[in-house]
Amino acid sequence: MQFRSAKHLVVDTSAFINSVQLHNIGEKICTVPEVIDEIRNRRQYRHLLSLTHDIEIKTVFSESLNFVTDFAKKTGDYASLSSTDLKLIALTYQLETQFVGQDHIRKSPIVKQFKTNEKMKNSQTVVNNGLCLPVNIENYERKRNKMDARRSTNDQANSLDSHDESSGDEVSSDEQIFYECKTHVEGDDYTTANESSSDSQEELNIPESEDESDFAESENESNSEDCLSSDSENESSDDDTWITPENMSDLKRSAGCSLAESTSVTVGCLTTDFAIQNVLMQMGLNVITVDGKVIRELRTYIFRCYACFKTTTNMKKVFCPSCGNKTLKRVSVFVDKDGNKRMFINFKKNISTRGKRFSLPMPKGGKHAVNPKLVEDAKRPHQKPSKLARMKTNALDDDYIAGWSPFAIRDVQSKSAQLGFNKGKPVFKYWMRKNPNQPKRLPKKG
């Protein structure tokens, strides 16, 4: 029997864009109608028609959609999700409730607590002002010990040498300069690769006037003697630098990447959208990659104010709780081994100046005024439709005509109808696109 990652697989448009072999990942494949409508490429159509499994088109219940919408607002990903994305998450939640249950599904996202380990912080290396330590202190100390041992070997060889002191000192100093230059240029790779050859040169103390062929023969003879010692040192240095299957998960975890496992689940969602993945993981639902693996870890996001540099874990905030400005940006955060909070901040991305170039307009009055919200506790108008628009048409009236009736109640004269509040249109923020204080030119009369 073929191994599949999920019994019920909910797919996103990315599955058709990447031409994923869905029959190898899920037994029953389902999606929402909006995902099929997003497929417009000819290649994606061909892949959709070539699937061996049938795709079930399912509708989403309003209760599931409302729950997912409220949850996405709590995590702070609601602004990054479209209506299709919300329906996709709601379908996954709906199937999980139907086939598994909803006891393990979270009602609100988990907020990580950052606790600093004072013992680990005090044990860290303290650098005095004016000094600079390298990034990897262990490699730096290893190189320093090798250089000290090499200098002591040179001193012993020079003291026991029976040749002329001047020629011997000149050769050893040249070899030392040659070694330091190569180490500075190529680093540990050159040191480990040429360690045996440099040792043999120092032990033989070959002057510069000798032929290169004789030097190569003596080098080969000494390499066979120092093979065991060089291999042991190479293994110790390579363990810290090379990527192996044993330290692959540690490297991924230190880099902040998501970890995936080849396990089987009942319900899973295949998507590459990070906002969808974050909401699903926060809810406790299963996320499957394009390779058919289940994601177990994702990054956590918080808000960081770029005005006062304070952070908050409340993803519903629009204004900074510390300084009160509308300067919150979402950043990724993780906790290192010492318990310190580390944030990933993209300083190359410019902060948008939309809505900040021109002076604010004069506040307008009235029942349906649209003014910019400057503080968190500013009063907002209700923007309610008129009483005439809220009245329902009585379909059982004697004068009512099915289809189109001249006696049907239609509000087109009120201010709310002209602004579009009856239809639920979004509020147009006119101060975000152009200068609201620019005088308008009136047409010439006559």
Written as one letter, the residue type at 376 is E
Angle between helices 165-186 and 137-160 (to 10 degrees): 170
Q: Is 257 annotated as a binding residue?
A: no
Are 309 and 302 spatial neighbours (Cβ–Cβ below 8 Å)?
no
The pairing of beta strand 328-335 with beta strand 341-344: antiparallel
Are 88 and 32 spatial neighbours (Cβ–Cβ below 8 Å)?
yes
C-alpha span between 257 and 297 (Å, rounded): 8
Q: Which pairs from 307-312 meet CB under 8 Å and 24+ separation?
A: 311/343
Are 239 and 188 spatial neighbours (Cβ–Cβ below 8 Å)?
no
Q: Is 30 annotated as a binding residue?
A: no
Per the DSSP assignment, residues forming a β-bridge with 344 are 332
Q: Is 181 annotated as a binding residue?
A: no
In terms of Cβ atoms closer than 10 Å to its own Cβ (0-12, 13-18, 19+), residue 113 is: exposed
Are 356 and 349 spatial neighbours (Cβ–Cβ below 8 Å)?
no
Angle between helices 83-99 and 62-75 (to 10 degrees): 110
Are 113 and 56 spatial neighbours (Cβ–Cβ below 8 Å)?
no
Q: Is 305 annotated as a binding residue?
A: yes
Are 203 and 175 spatial neighbours (Cβ–Cβ below 8 Å)?
no
C-alpha span between 240 and 141 (Å, rounded): 14
Written as one letter, the residue type at 89 is I
- DSSP letters for 136-185: -HHHHHHHHHHHHHHHHHHHHHHHH--S-HHHHHHHHHHHHHHHHHHHHH
Q: List CB contacts of 320: < 8 A, sequence separation 6 or more.
A: 303, 305, 307, 308, 310, 312, 326, 327, 328
Written as six digits, the tokens of 241 are 């630098």
- Residue ranges for the known binding site for Zn(2+) are 305, 308, 320, 323
Known binding residues are 305, 308, 320, 323
